[in-house]
Amino acid sequence: MSVKILLLSFFTLCLTTIGHANAKDMSASLAIIYGGVDETGTKALFLSDESGKRRVKIISATLSDGYPAVSPNGKQVAFYGKYDKYKTWSIHTVDADGNNLRRLTHVQHVWDSSPTWSPDGKTIAFAREYRAEDGEMQEEIWLMNADGSNKRKIKALKGRSPEFMPDGRLLFQTKSGPSQISIANIDGSNVIQLTNDDSNNMSPKISPDGSRIAYLSNRDGNQEVYIMDLDGSNQHRITDNSITEWDPAWSVDGNKVFFSSQNVHGFYDINRANIDGSSIERVVINGSQSGSLSNVDRSALEKLVKIK
């Protein structure tokens, strides 16, 4: 039996198990969005409730869809998709019911990723990476209107993983070597550095109330999930194992953090932990790049999902 058939069998088993749960739990409120694999083994975007029992597919648009973020009004999803044998990554939007797919960036052989919506839903920030003529990797943060118009680079910032905060400022990780977590105004001014060590601190996500930040760090030897207060104080780790963690995302109530961990099959599962690190449990089989639905109009989102 080929590896492809084995993998497809594994995915089908996972989806069948989840499908049985869906029939009993369709009333569960949506809480996260993530990239996963559909019944054909194709990368796609999904919504789920907090326990992972309800799963709703949004779209499978490109070679690989991921880094999804729902607009504040609950009506659109921004995400990245891959082209040119995975060499070109582009930002897209799609309605939450899977209609009206739009490709917003088109630059060939650059990696556009990590879209994030401004609090008013009018602006999308995203990361852009590419190799310059001198061979050095460039890490830039860009802005554009929600329809893809008026693209502009924030010249004062170098880094990745932008995240709009409730007050309109940007949370981001600085350029690698090692990367640190910082906050800046949307024009790149007034940079406030929150971490300062010789490890890589990455993928910051702001809590629903704007008071705390979940992020990744390898300061203790392995890449784990950490939380700190908005001013950079009270930094503490909430995961502790030999597996590399990715993609932190807050629960709607701000009392838990979702994150991805590699599983025994070489893929990723989404887990959930309390903010003190207790009660870690797997909630999504074969999923990654989770995004929070906090500060999203979930009633509008639910209506579009039900229409679909």
CATH number where 265 lies: 2.120.10.30
CA-CA-CA-CA torsion sign (166, 157, 126, 124): positive
Task: Write out the DSSP string of 15-56.
Answer: HHHHHHHHHH-TTSPEEEEEEEE-TTS-EEEEEEETTS--EE
Predicted TM-score (pTM) above 0.85: yes
Q: Residue 27: pLDDT band by 50, 70, 90 thresholds? A: low
For residue 171, the model assigns a pLDDT of 98
pLDDT, average across residues 22-43: 78
Given a contact cutoff of 8 angstroms between Cβ atoms, the answer to whether 88 and 110 are in contact is yes
- How many domains are there within the chain? 1
**207-226: per-residue pLDDT in tens?**
999 999 999 999 988 999 99
The pLDDT mean for the chain works out to: 91
Q: Residue 86: pLDDT band by 50, 70, 90 thresholds? A: very high
For residue 41, the model assigns a pLDDT of 84
pLDDT above 50 (res 4): no
**251-305: per-residue pLDDT in tens?**
999 999 999 998 877 789 999 999 999 999 999 999 999 999 999 999 999 999 9
For residue 15, the model assigns a pLDDT of 46
pLDDT above 90 (res 23): no
Among 7-16, 110-119, 224-233, the least confident range = 7-16
Task: Please give the residue range of the domain that contains residue 251.
Answer: 3-307
Neighbours of 3 (CB within 10 A): 7
**Among 233, 257, 234, which Cα is nearest to 245's?**
257
**CA pair distance 121, 75, nearest whole angstrom:** 10
